[in-house]
Each structure stands twice: as structure tokens, then as C-alpha cells.
């Protein structure tokens, strides 16, 4: 495939996020002159269609980046740490969807609707925030700009797709087993069965240390640190509890915010209704509020159940939902690439 535009490579092209990256590049008509699909040797030789033409998956090596303009990476932190500096030396700009570089001082952490200006200080690598962080700051930043958020308390209900394709396959097998009256098989991707269960432990994997010395999981620590970096305001205090739930695609979040300036729920709705990439669905009397099944496959972040916190002053509760594979990962990365390509 040869055309006008940019040479793009996707690392982790056969994974859940990599597949959505392929689709979104095509949907948004990103100017792709050539596309490289990179994965492990196990996947080399597989074919996927892009703009009506088959593209073969190539094995990822240090020689994969000659002539590549943009690298979209979503294959694990260790792989990004090893290969992205190599890609930068070869002349590519890398947008990484792993946690490898997010808190590096020299790596911008970008949500284009929130902090686009920060993208242009990159040194070859830019980072996508964690999926749960992206949708949260989409809802927080417009309110912060008006009323200054002092404190955030968030509890997440995160879909299985965030743990990858094999996790979704494992969840489906467990659910079928339970429905057949059997015990779910031992988990490989989760420390406990996910079928009809909620797991308040989201970390790098079963083999890693699941909680830090203060009892926070890896995912919770990410949300806290990343939010402050993206909002560019270390006075914002954040605490999080992250939970994996038996939903295939889509993350939901219950967020409580405390602001310096009091705003009403209706003022918050009006602010968010004008925010790019945000859709307000908030008519609870008719049972209209964001749902993961409706957010799946859509690009926006959806906000509803906006109401006053009766327990304290200047505080609101809200419910925020997004497709974690799209805005929480693939779409955000491609929007970053668009930001740079259009500059």
C-alpha cells in the first residue's frame, strides 16, 4: 500500500487496542501513505484489511522503523521501553499507549481536548494516559477551568477489554461455565474469577505486586499521578478506587469533585455540553444516563447523574462513561498524531 501522507507503524497490531487503531485510522481518514503492522513472531504473516487492501503483520525488530513517521505503540511497557527509543533514533515520532513513559518529565502526557499545547514539547515520544484517566480528565478540565477543582474522589467500574483480548476470552469462558452450572476455571489474567464478580484489584498482572505500601493498586496510583500532570495543577488532590467488572467494553466512573467556586448541577451540565468530545446524558427521571453498552463503539466521553453532594459545600457527583478501547486508548493516540500532523 503506497499513497500520499505519512508512514505509520502500529506496535501490538494484533491486540485489542491495535485492532481499533487500524479501524480508527481508516475511519478518520488519517493520511496514511504506508502502514506497518508489527507484532511478535507468533503473529507474523497474519493479514488484516486496511482501506480495501491486505496488510501482512511483520515481526517487530529493531530494524522495523526505517522510513516510519509515526509509531503507535500498545504492546506492553517492556516492549515500548526497548523499541521506542530505537524508533526515535530512526526518525519516528512515537505515541505510546503503555505506562512506560507517562511520568517521565521529558514525555508529554496528552489528551488533545485537555492539554494540546503540551504535545509540542516532545522529544520523540508522547504518552497516552491510562484509559480511566483520559475519560475522567475529559469531564474534569472544563469544570476546573471555571470553578477550580480542589479534590477528586473517583471509583471506577472498568471493562474487561482493558486487560486485553485473552482476558475477554477468559471472561467469556468463565461466564459460560457458570451459566452451565459449573465452577469457573482458574484465572490466568485475573487473581479471582471475573464472571459475575467485581475485582477491586487492577494492576500490571497476576505476577506483579498488586498493591503499594499504602494499599493503592497500580491503576489507582496511575490515575492519581497522571491527573495532576495532565491538569498541570499539583494542588488538585485525587484519590481513587479502581475495580474490574464483568463488562466487556467500556469503563464507568463515579466521580465526586469539590470546587473552590460553587457551581450548580445545571451550570456543570451547561459547561460540559460545550466541551469538545463530551456528551451530556442526564435525565434520570426518564432513566437516561450514560451506559457502557451505549458508549461502546463511540468516540465521546459521556457524563450524567450530575447532582449536588449534600454532605459538604461546593461539591458535585457525576457518572462518566467511555469506550476504553477508543477514547481510552486508540482514538486518543490517533488524535495526538493528528495534532502533530496538522501543526
Residue 203 has what pLDDT?
77
Residue 208 has what pLDDT?
55
Distance CA 333, CA 111 (A): 9
User: Hey, how many other C-beta atoms are within 10 angstroms of the C-beta on 30?
Assistant: 19
Residue 249 has what pLDDT?
95
Q: Which residues of the chain have pLDDT under 70?
A: 1-3, 204-209
Kindly name the residue from 122, 131, 185, 192 that is annotated as catalytic.
131
Task: Enumerate the domain spans of the chain.
Answer: 6-129+329-341, 133-323
Strand 6-11 versus strand 149-158 pairing type: unpaired
Confidence (pTM): 0.94
pLDDT digits (tens, 9 = 90+) for 289-313: 999 999 999 999 999 999 999 999 9
Distance CA 307, CA 342 (A): 39
Residue 207 has what pLDDT?
47
For residue 286 the three cell numbers come to 426518564
Kindly name the residue from 6, 122, 144, 251 that is annotated as catalytic.
251
Burial class (CB in 10 A: 0-12, 13-18, 19+), 287: exposed
User: Hey, how many other C-beta atoms are within 10 angstroms of the C-beta on 286?
Assistant: 6
User: Are the C-beta atoms of residues 288 and 282 closer than 8 Å to each other?
Assistant: yes
Distance CA 128, CA 71 (A): 13
End-to-end CA distance of the chain: 25
In residues, how long is the chain?
343
**144 is annotated as an active-site residue:** no
**30 Rama class: left (phi>0) / alpha (psi -120 to 50) / beta:** beta
Task: Give the domain 6-129+329-341 fold.
Answer: Rossmann fold (3.40.50)
Distance CA 153, CA 215 (A): 16
Quick one: CA dihedral 163, 161, 72, 111, positive or negative?
negative
**251 is annotated as an active-site residue:** yes
**45 Rama class: left (phi>0) / alpha (psi -120 to 50) / beta:** left
Task: Give the domain 133-323 fold.
Answer: Dihydrodipicolinate Reductase; domain 2 (3.30.360)
CA distances from 194 to 181, 197, 241 (A): 16, 5, 17
Same fold flag, 6-129+329-341 and 133-323:
no
Task: State residue 130 phi and psi, 5-degree precision.
Answer: -55, 145
Q: What angle do CA 152, 156, 160 make, to 5 degrees?
A: 155
Which residues sit opposite 33 in a β-bridge?
none
Amino acid at each position: 500500500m503506497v499513497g500520499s501522507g505519512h508512514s505509520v507503524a502500529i506496535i501490538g497490531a494484533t491486540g485489542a487496542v491495535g485492532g481499533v487503531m487500524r479501524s480508527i485510522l481508516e475511519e478518520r481518514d488519517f493520511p496514511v501513505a504506508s502502514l506497518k503492522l508489527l507484532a511478535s513472531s507468533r503473529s507474523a504473516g497474519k493479514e488484516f484489511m486496511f482501506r480495501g487492501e491486505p496488510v501482512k503483520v511483520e515481526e517487530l525488530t529493531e530494524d522495523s522503523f526505517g522510513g516510519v513517521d509515526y509509531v503507535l505503540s500498545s504492546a506492553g511497557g517492556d516492549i515500548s521501553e526497548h523499541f521506542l527509543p530505537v524508533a526515535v533514533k530512526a526518525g519516528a515520532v512515537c505515541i505510546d499507549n503503555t505506562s512506560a513513559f507517562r511520568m517521565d518529565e521529558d514525555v508529554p502526557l496528552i489528551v488533545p481536548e485537555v492539554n494540546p499545547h503540551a504535545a509540542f514539547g516532545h522529544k520523540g515520544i508522547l504518552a497516552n494516559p491510562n484509559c480511566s484517566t483520559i475519560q475522567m480528565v475529559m469531564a474534569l478540565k472544563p469544570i476546573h477551568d471555571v470553578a477550580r477543582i480542589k479534590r477528586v474522589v473517583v471509583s471506577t467500574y472498568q471493562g474487561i477489554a482493558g486487560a486485553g483480548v485473552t482476558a475477554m476470552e477468559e471472561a467469556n469462558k468463565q461466564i459460560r461455565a457458570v451459566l452451565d452450572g459449573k465452577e469457573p476455571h482458574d484465572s490466568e489474567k485475573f487473581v479471582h474469577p471475573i464472571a459475575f464478580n467485581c475485582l477491586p484489584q487492577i494492576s500490571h498482572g497476576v505476577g506483579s505486586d498488586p498493591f503499594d505500601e499504602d494499599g493503592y493498586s497500580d491503576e489507582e496510583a496511575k490515575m492519581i499521578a497522571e491527573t495532576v500532570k495532565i491538569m498541570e495543577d499539583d494542588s488538585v488532590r485525587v484519590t481513587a478506587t479502581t475495580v474490574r467488572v464483568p463488562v466487556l467494553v467500556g469503563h464507568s466512573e463515579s466521580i465526586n469533585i469539590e470546587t473552590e467556586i460553587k457551581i450548580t448541577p445545571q451550570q456543570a451540565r451547561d459547561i460540559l455540553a460545550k466541551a469538545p468530545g463530551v456528551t451530556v446524558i442526564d435525565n434520570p427521571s426518564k432513566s437516561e444516563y450514560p451506559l457502557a453498552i451505549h458508549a461502546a463503539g463511540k468516540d465521546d466521553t459521556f457524563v450524567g447523574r450530575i447532582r449536588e453532594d449534600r454532605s459538604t459545600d461546593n461539591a458535585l457527583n457525576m457518572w462518566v462513561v467511555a469506550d476504553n478501547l477508543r477514547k481510552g486508548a486508540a482514538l486518543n493516540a490517533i488524535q495526538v498524531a493528528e495534532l502533530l500532523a496538522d501543526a
